[in-house]
Amino acid sequence: MTILQSIIMGGVQGITEFLPISSSAHLIVIPWFFTISEANINPLTYDVMLHFGSLLAVLLLYGKKFVRVVIEGLVDFRDGRGTRSMLFKMIIATLPAVIAGLLGKHVIEHYLRAPIIAAFMLALVAIMMILCERMAIDRNDITMPIAIAIGVAQALALVPGVSRSGITITMAIFLGIRKSEAVDFSFMLSIPIILGASIYESRHIEFHGDALGLYVFGMLSAFVFGAVSLKFLITYLKDHTLDLFAYYRIGLALLILVFSFMPRL
């Protein structure tokens, strides 16, 4: 991997982590398609650094709101009404992904990280995204059952091609949550998930002299492109549907299928 390739991969991570088009699918497909070698880096270290860049991006835009939710939740717990707080709902919604990640890590890493699976999930979730805003659904607040359902959807995003933001926003809209509130809840949930995953995987971090620049440039790229893409998505979805991203996902899925059956040169 070169510095330029690291910047590209960081940019891909930053953009696709927040846009509902699946970061995992792109990070599988792009090295596979362009034959980017990871021989000179520690892939786990690189992955942690890219996710740390993404974490900084979401904290830039949602950090204040997240801290406010935490403080208000702690006050609610002190006053005996903590189980009704948004903080408690976020904690419960985070658990399914944590459990699935710990118990299913081996299966996901060894059996599901394949271009064909990513293509299938890209298309399946795209169909859900197109349907969710075309159904007449009664409006709801984020109750505990809804938070749990969104949390289960987030756990499914461990499968490449699903997209954490795509499936959680779509599930929330299906359950009657206003789109702006669905977007906010989705990205607030991303903070503990990305932070927890980075801390958990940090035990594998190994920095080698020549690769340090690759890690740093990848992280900075993920941060810059992540912040820009997240701000774009928040603004875009105020006046538009998810259709643009759904059609992109379908097009990417078809492209992956075509190249999967073509002989590699």
Q: Where are the domains of the chain?
A: 3-260
- pLDDT exceeds cutoff 90 at 67: yes
State residue 124 phi and psi, 5-degree precision: -60, -50
Half-sphere exposure in the Cβ direction for 129 (13 Å, CA): 30
177-191 burial by CB neighbour count: b if 16+ within 10 A, else e?
bebeebbbbbbbbbb
pTM value > 0.85: yes
Residues 102 and 130: their CA atoms lie apart, in Å, by 31
Quick one: average pLDDT of 201-222?
80
Residue 36's pLDDT is 67
Residue 111's pLDDT is 82
Tell me the pLDDT tens digit for each residue of 107-161. 887 888 788 898 999 999 999 999 998 886 777 789 999 999 999 999 999 998 9
Residues 48 and 150: their CA atoms lie apart, in Å, by 25
Residue 35's pLDDT is 67
- pLDDT exceeds cutoff 70 at 82: yes
